[in-house]
Amino acid sequence: MTLLRVRGFDVHKGYLDPGRQAALIESLRPVLKAAPLYSPRVPGGGQMSVRMTSAGQFGWYSDAKGYRYAEAHPSGRVWPAIPAEVLAIWTELTGLERQPECCLLNYYGEGARMGLHQDKDEADFSYPVVSISLGDDGLFRIGNPTRGGKTESLWLSSGDVVVMGGEARLTYHGVDRIRFKSSRLLSKGGRINLTLRVVT
């Protein structure tokens, strides 16, 4: 395990050993069953290549009307609870009493990507966002607090955990591509990224 600091993001390389990664995947199975992945539409009229779902009191949601947190899955059912295995990582790395209210699950299949963006739909930016990578490698790009300027990229591998907090809480970031089937954690390949956020 090594800790890198890239533009204010704490990148814990190899934070989760293979056993813990497998246990996390198991803990996500009931979440995916209760709240199946969907492909969010975006305000411009397009569709994201990443498929998503959430656990917790709130789920991050997007459609033609915009980005927001919603209290129910598109099916109308409330989101499943955030698994204890996931919450443990938040507590270990942030030391915070307060628990996250949203665990967004992003699934990157072959060819999926996520453009540079800020995480700014939450009420209080003094809380960090904790991001957990599982499965295939993803090329993570880190920009600046405002759009534009030079960026820096690094590969995130299964078991890496990134804490985006402090001055870097509103730094632009995205995923350019994944190396499909570079990991054997998910039998069908792909990358899962979990982000934990305090919403209210």
**159 touches ligand SIN (CB under 6 A):** no
Q: How far apart are CA 158 and CA 182, in angstroms?
A: 10
Partner interacting with residue 62 (select from ligand SIN, Mn ion, none; CB below 5-8 Å by kind): none
Among 93, 175, 178, 196, contact with ligand SIN (rule: CB under 6 A): 175
**Residue (15 or 140) nearer to ligand SIN, CB:** 140
Q: What angle (nearest 5°) sits at the alpha carbon of residue 121, between those of residues 94 and 27?
A: 50
**Residue (23 or 199) nearer to Mn ion, CB:** 199
What are the strands, taking DSSP E only, across the chain? Answer: 2-6, 9-13, 51-56, 59-63, 66-70, 102-108, 114-117, 129-135, 138-142, 152-156, 161-164, 173-178, 191-197
Binding to ligand SIN by CB under 6 A, coded x per residue (else -) over 30-49, reads --------------------
Partner interacting with residue 106 (select from ligand SIN, Mn ion, none; CB below 5-8 Å by kind): ligand SIN
Token couple for 42: 């975006």
Residues that bind ligand SIN (CB under 6 A): 106, 114, 131, 138, 140, 156, 173, 175, 193, 195
